[in-house]
Amino acid sequence: MNHISNQDKQIILDSIRDIPDFPKPGIIFKDITTMLSNAKALNTLMTHLEKRYKSYDLDYIAGIDARGFIFGSILADRLGLGFVPVRKKGKLPYTTVAEKYSLEYGFDEVEIHIDAFASESSDGKGAKVLLIDDLIATGGTAKAAANLIDKVGAECVEVCFIMELAFLHGREGFTAPVYSVIALD
């Protein structure tokens, strides 16, 4: 497996801004907008992801609304693959499949087009898909998105996060392997 070097990890970490008490007191929000505007950090991250996934024989990259769209689109372009958005409920214009997930107080839903993965993989099975997002905390949204990929007949071969809040144990319960570029304890 291709893991990121400590030097490259530090370049990325140094470009991410901490915002204390956002969105509520006691939370330290990891603001990736500063990484996105840092050409060296963004290129370091995307070069790592490209090297890691170029041998996976993927058919598609799927990204979770909204920051997963950024990383997923760039990676799909670098790998010469199609990109599929996993959106919040009510944002996709065609027939969709939905999956609910739990929030602290209630539920939310994500959707994917029913025909999002039109092609089969080279082995004749469902399309091989990498799911990507910026951060995993409790993992509810990503687990729902991974389930959607399977529901529409594709195979989620791995779930990738730029950062993982490991102390929240969000990676537990996935059926696909989970990779995080940076894990924070």
Which residues are catalytic, by number?
Answer: 67, 104
Residue type, 142: A
45: left (phi over 0), alpha (psi -120 to 50) or beta: alpha
Task: Kindly state the helix (H) or strand (E) to which residue 124 belongs, with its residue range.
Answer: none
Helices and strands, counts by H and E, the chain: 5, 9
Handedness of CA 1, 70, 74, 175 (dihedral sign): positive
Helices (H), 62-157: 67-79, 140-151
